[in-house]
Structure 1
């Protein structure tokens, strides 16, 4: 049982680490993109998404800790898939909505 918990916790931390590494790489290579409007927008969107995904993985990790503290050690694959869908899907929804709303505001202000 403890091995299952360790595997899930390691998986959560690896996903969080992956998001943070991507943020660092995007920042390092994207900091010079301020001269190009489109490049700046793409870097901004990707940074926003991966930072939100990092916070989502932190949230999922805290839920997993809470479950472990309640001595519920039955870890199933379905819960890990649900965590992944939430941690990558929820930030994608927020970024998508911000893009749509900012585009809508730009078009309404120009007309």
Structure 2
């Protein structure tokens, strides 16, 4: 059984946290937490398709210039090659799942 308490943990970006719930070449599931007013670098994946699903808080997702506000229990699919950026523009932390097929390891290209 896997949970946030026993999963492999890492820190990324501006004090953000990630926990690998599934870490396989064919699929990745990561539980992520972003403190208030943080963001990831804008990027795309050449092969991987992703799905972001908000567990708590509010996530701002920019994809190809379009902004989506995602609240608890809402998600968005990011197709390969779509430039995107996850941001937490709120005053509270946001927690979400990132499901990638296949894994994004070695498949990320930063832009801007």
Q: Which TM-score bucket, shorter chain as reference? A: under 0.3
**TM score, norm. by length of structure 1:** 0.20
**TM score, norm. by length of structure 2:** 0.20
Which structure: greater strand fraction?
2
Q: Which has the larger radius of gyration?
A: 1
